[in-house]
Amino acid sequence: MRGLLPKVAYLCALALLAGCAPDRAAISDAVREDGGPLIVLADEQAGLEAAIAPDQGGELTSLRVRRQGEWIETLHRARDYSGQPGWRGKALFLWPATGRNFPAGFAIPAGGREGAWDFQGERYPMPIHGFAGHMPWTVESRRDGFVALSLRDTGETRRVYPFGFTLTAQYRIERGALSITYYVQAAADNQHAMPFSIGNHITFRTPLIEGGDPGALWIQTPSTVEYLKRPPGLPTGETRPRSLDRPVRLADLPAKESVSLGGYAGDPWLEYRDPRGMALRITQNTSGPAEGPVVRFNLWGDPSQGYYSPEPWVGMPNSLVSGKGLIKVEAGESWRWRIVIEPSRGR
């Protein structure tokens, strides 16, 4: 018996160490239905899987969470690039613009998706939400639970944005959460500080759990200010107090009309919850503030159509025109933005 006790103690110690050990995430390759590549990060122990599409803006294209033994896709139109009508879903990266940019006197085209901005006496085209989310990215490094992708300026980008840059997106699964860290590096030979806004149009399914009421899902975030806008989505310069510190049902938010929130104390966070037993919490932080008023979460979607997008931003619509909600990075310098998405499976 005395010989057995040390062995039992040793096995118990190993079990305790295993319980305290960090999650072990894996990395693998997959192919979409359209033949495009995917990089999949997965942690079976934590029940979390993320898929990234390098050729589609390097975006997060799938985020699956295991609940009660079943894998649940949380993103709207995950892995789908078929071009079907309606909102594309997934998690479009927004840069160097968030929303639309229209200079004074600009003839706004039908649909309002193509805009412009002026810099150093020249006018440049700028599509809604910028261009980086529609370009192929390059895989720079990868290992278990981690992948880094990059996008560099080209002759094509300089026709709309006259700066040299390197963007990096680092995806990592650890401790049961997904982090996305963006780095914006301004080229050393830029002649001026590089202005931009940044965001992610992450779009979740409504409901998250099949069979629920889409409008019954709710959002909670400790905002204090809403930035008011006029058609087609341009800030008026006016604000009003707006706190979602208490949960607000999606049914009580306007459909397909954005609600732009700011005025956060500390790192902004938002919780998106299905009352049937699943939630996703988004937290964000930066290495430096934007100039002037800044939107940190932009709410938009239509739960009756199966989606809602609590977009994390550091920016403002029309920022390249107004100068408000801009980050400016000097030549040779860099700036960081980190998003953490953490699922929970309780009520």
| Confidence at residue 241, expressed as pLDDT on a 0 to 100 scale | 98
CA distances from 187 to 123, 329, 333 (A): 21, 10, 8
How far CA 157 is from CA of 112, 114, 134, 151, 166, in Å, comes to 21, 15, 11, 11, 12
Residue 64, burial from CB neighbour count under 10 angstroms (0-12, 13-18, 19+): buried
Amino acid at 323: G
Tokens of 151: 């996008």
191 has a pLDDT exceeding 60: yes
**320 neighbors 101 (Cβ within 8 angstroms):** yes
Contacts of 323 (CB under 8 A, 6+ apart): 195, 291, 292
Which residue type is seen at 33? E
Are the C-beta atoms of residues 181 and 200 closer than 8 Å to each other?
Answer: no
Which tens digit of pLDDT belongs to each residue from 22-42? 558 999 999 999 999 999 999
Residue 6: is its pLDDT beyond 80? no
Q: What are residue 260's DSSP bridge partners?
A: 227, 298
Q: Which residues contact 52 (CB under 8 A, 6 or more apart)?
A: 38, 39, 40, 41, 58, 59, 60, 61, 147, 149, 171
User: Beta-carbon neighbour count of residue 21 at 10 Å?
Assistant: 9
Q: How many CA atoms lie within 13 A of 329 on its CB side?
A: 25
- What is the length of the chain? 347
Q: How large is the C-alpha radius of gyration of the chain?
A: 22
The conformational region for residue 330 under phi > 0 = left, psi -120 to 50 = alpha, else beta, is beta
Give pLDDT, residue 9: 44
pLDDT value of residue 113: 84
Question: In the predicted model, is pLDDT for residue 17 greater than 50?
Answer: no
Query: What does pLDDT average to over the chain?
Result: 93
Query: Under 8 Å CB-to-CB from 34, ≥6 apart: which residues?
Result: 81, 82
Domains and CATH numbers, the chain: 28-344 (2.70.98.10)
Q: Which of 37, 199, 32, 181 is nearest to 132 (CA)?
A: 199
Q: What is the mean pLDDT of residues 104-129?
A: 91
DSSP letter assigned to residue 74: -
User: Quick one: CA torsion of 216, 217, 223, 225, rounded to 10 degrees?
Assistant: -50
Say yes or no to pLDDT of 15 above 50.
no
Identify the weakest region by mean pLDDT among 40-44, 82-86, 112-116. Answer: 112-116
**Mean pLDDT (whole number) for 272-297:** 97
User: What's the rounded Cα separation, in Å, for the pair 71 and 172?
Assistant: 19
